[in-house]
Amino acid sequence: MELAIVILAAGKGTRMRSDLPKVAHPLAGKPMLGHVIDTARALSPGSICVVFGHGGDRVQREVPATDVIWAEQAEQLGTGHAVAQAMPHISEEVVLILYGDVPLIRAETLRDFVSRVQPDTLALMTLEMADPGAYGRIVRNAEGAVQAIVEYKDADATQKAIREINTGILACPRAFLDQALPKLSSNNAQGEYYLTDVIAMAVADGLTIDAVQPSFPWEVDGVNDRVQLARLERVYQQVQAEALMRDGVTVMDPARLDVRGNVRCGQDVVLDINTVLVGEVDIAARVTIGPNCLIRNARIGEGSHIEANSVVDGAVVGEDCHVGPFARLRPGTELAAGARVGNFVETKKTLIGPGSKVNHLTYLGDATLGRDVNVGAGTITCNYDGVNKFETHIGDNAFIGSNSSLVAPVSVGSGATVGAGSVVTKDVPEKELAVARSKQRNLSGWQRPSSTSQEASQKASQDAPAAGQPGDTSRQGEQ
Ligand code: UD1
Ligand code: CA
């Protein structure tokens, strides 16, 4: 039977105390509603319809999805009324109702759940709770068959004592909903059209209610405030960490790993504490990631090591590379096999050839380096004139001395050497040495001022205020 999924997301979410609509608040870097839509997609339904209302089209802007039908519920008159707004937009035989603020429901659980729906059977997700709070209560008859849901505010003392609650997730034949929804009334404690009232109607029509429990209680946890959101974030992260560990990843502390995207890891990867993995991340076998690293939209090749406090963002790291500690690889960086990028090195749109080393205190932007290049400490590619970006090319086996500025566009040929402290503005031919710095002068016989001569001169200037001492070249920094 073809499936339509309706996601309710029209509520206000007052307790978030936020300008952002509740369902747009991120969990693991993605709006809660985005998680629910992705889970819905995983079931390959005929259509997905999101009922929005409070906050208007802000929800659509924050959670853009073109394969979704957006149905507006202008006034929030209750969950039954909300589902009724979706009905004109869908035509499938089975309707599954989910919630934009119940983000961790799993596709596996829903597949089994939906499969229980028959022309004469509704599936209702319920949960036994030690402390059932203000949830709707599941009323069963003496034979244990579900008869009705009673909302907490409408419940009597006996009903309030029931510990089986309504999670809200419901799947039923569309034909049944079509005739039941128009019959709902708002004659109840909250003056709302309760979706939950369709259960008693179904029973009166001779239908059966199949009450199903989720595999994990957290799948049906809703978010009303930021405390609950933070709790679910931790649940989500624990699940991600456990999945990685089962795939052969060592996670030094599952409580200090954050996955905000889609992460694929090979075997024997080691993730040290405070690793944050964002977006699409591919980590090959035997890679180690040191403490406090951010890896975003990146690929890291087999056996590479990313040392502590490094950022790998929009970059591709080849096999057996060494990055960090304290390195920052920005978008467009590619490291070939065996390359090394050390501390306080920033790279952007830069290809670093096999075995090349950029070990300390360097900025490389818009650059290509061949194989076995050595870039000395403090090297800068001057790639930007304030408006335009220019490229730097460095050939195989070139050696760039420390503290050099390579003023792009410029190229350094294969096997060429740049003397330390050079400002290179012209291309350097293959194998040649370029030295571009002022020549050193040594002044013989020059004397450093001693404290006794200084006191004498100070005394002289107090006695007779005069202009500064001439010819004293040692006084750098005092002018
Ligand atoms: C609802 C159920 C209750 C269940 C609980 C589980 C009803 C009448 N009650 O109660 O049995 O135990 O969920 O959390 O269904 N919404 C709309 N439009 C509306 C009203 C609500 O889109 O007019 C959406 C909300 O955004 C929210 C969801 O429906 O995502 C549930 O609404 P809420 O008001 O939280 O229902 P509860 O009173 O918690
Ligand atoms: Ca609720």
Whether 51 is in the pocket of ligand 1, judged by its Cβ within 6 Å, is: yes
Same fold: 3-220 with 243-434:
no
Amino acid at the residue 361: L
Residue 266: half-sphere exposure toward Cβ, Cα within 13 Å: 15
Active-site hit among 54, 305, 360, 393: 360
Distance CA 317, CA 299 (A): 6
Specify the pTM.
Answer: 0.91
Nearest CA to ligand 1 atom 1: 168
Residue 110 DSSP one-character state:
H
- From the CA of 224, the nearest ligand is 2
167 CA: nearest ligand 1 atom: 6
- From the CA of 79, the nearest ligand is 1
DSSP per position, 209-228: EEEE--SSGGGG---SSHHH
Whether 289 is in the pocket of ligand 1, judged by its Cβ within 6 Å, is: no
In the prediction, which pLDDT does 468 show?
42
Whether 73 is in the pocket of ligand 1, judged by its Cβ within 6 Å, is: yes
Whether 127 is in the pocket of ligand 1, judged by its Cβ within 6 Å, is: no
Question: Which CATH number applies to 3-220?
Answer: 3.90.550.10
| Top mutation candidate among 14, 54, 59, 79 for ligand 1, by most atoms within 8 Å of CB | 79
445, two tokens: 């016989």
Do the Cβ atoms of 290 and 324 come closer than 8 Å? yes
User: Domain locations in the chain?
Assistant: 3-220, 243-434
348, two tokens: 């952007």
In this structure, the number of other CB atoms found within 10 A of the CB of residue 473 comes to 8
Handedness of CA 285, 287, 291, 293 (dihedral sign): negative
In this structure, the number of other CB atoms found within 10 A of the CB of residue 18 comes to 13
Whether 149 is in the pocket of ligand 1, judged by its Cβ within 6 Å, is: yes
Distance CA 245, CA 242 (A): 5
Nearest CA to ligand 1 atom 27: 11
Can you tell me whether residue 460 is helix, strand or coil? helix
- Which residues in 326-432 belong to E strands, given as ranges? 327-329, 334-335, 340-352, 357-369, 374-375, 380-382, 392-394, 399-400, 405-407, 410-412, 417-418, 423-424
47, two tokens: 């259509």
Can you tell me whether residue 412 is helix, strand or coil? strand
Do the Cβ atoms of 194 and 184 come closer than 8 Å? yes
**Centre of ligand 2 from the C-alpha of residue 167, in Å:** 9
- From the CA of 197, the nearest ligand is 1
Whether 11 is in the pocket of ligand 1, judged by its Cβ within 6 Å, is: yes
pLDDT tens string for the chain (479 positions)?
Answer: 899 999 999 998 999 999 999 999 999 999 999 999 999 999 999 999 999 998 888 999 999 999 999 999 999 999 999 999 999 999 999 999 999 999 999 999 999 999 999 999 999 999 999 999 999 999 999 999 999 999 999 999 999 999 999 999 999 999 999 999 999 999 999 999 999 999 999 999 999 999 999 999 999 999 999 999 999 999 999 999 999 999 999 999 999 999 999 999 999 999 999 999 999 999 999 999 999 999 999 999 999 999 999 999 999 999 999 999 999 999 999 999 999 999 999 999 999 999 999 999 999 999 999 999 999 999 999 999 999 999 999 999 999 999 999 999 999 999 999 999 999 999 999 999 999 999 999 999 999 999 876 666 676 666 554 444 444 444 444 43
151 CA: nearest ligand 1 atom: 11
Whether 76 is in the pocket of ligand 1, judged by its Cβ within 6 Å, is: yes
DSSP bridge pairs for 66 = none
Nearest CA to ligand 1 atom 13: 168
DSSP bridge pairs for 271 = 251, 289
Whether 136 is in the pocket of ligand 1, judged by its Cβ within 6 Å, is: yes
Whether 222 is in the pocket of ligand 1, judged by its Cβ within 6 Å, is: yes
70, two tokens: 């957006």
- From the CA of 50, the nearest ligand is 1
51 CA: nearest ligand 1 atom: 22
Distance CA 143, CA 130 (A): 23
Whether 8 is in the pocket of ligand 1, judged by its Cβ within 6 Å, is: yes
**Centre of ligand 2 from the C-alpha of residue 11, in Å:** 9
**Centre of ligand 1 from the C-alpha of residue 136, in Å:** 10
- From the CA of 10, the nearest ligand is 1
Active-site residue flag, 35: no
Whether 408 is in the pocket of ligand 1, judged by its Cβ within 6 Å, is: no
In the prediction, which pLDDT does 408 show?
97
**Centre of ligand 1 from the C-alpha of residue 96, in Å:** 15
Nearest CA to ligand 1 atom 39: 135
**Centre of ligand 1 from the C-alpha of residue 79, in Å:** 6
195 CA: nearest ligand 1 atom: 15
In the prediction, which pLDDT does 470 show?
45
The CATH number of 243-434, from 3.30.420.40, 1.10.10.10, 3.40.50.1110, 2.160.10.10, is 2.160.10.10
**Centre of ligand 2 from the C-alpha of residue 197, in Å:** 16
**Centre of ligand 1 from the C-alpha of residue 92, in Å:** 23
Whether 78 is in the pocket of ligand 1, judged by its Cβ within 6 Å, is: yes
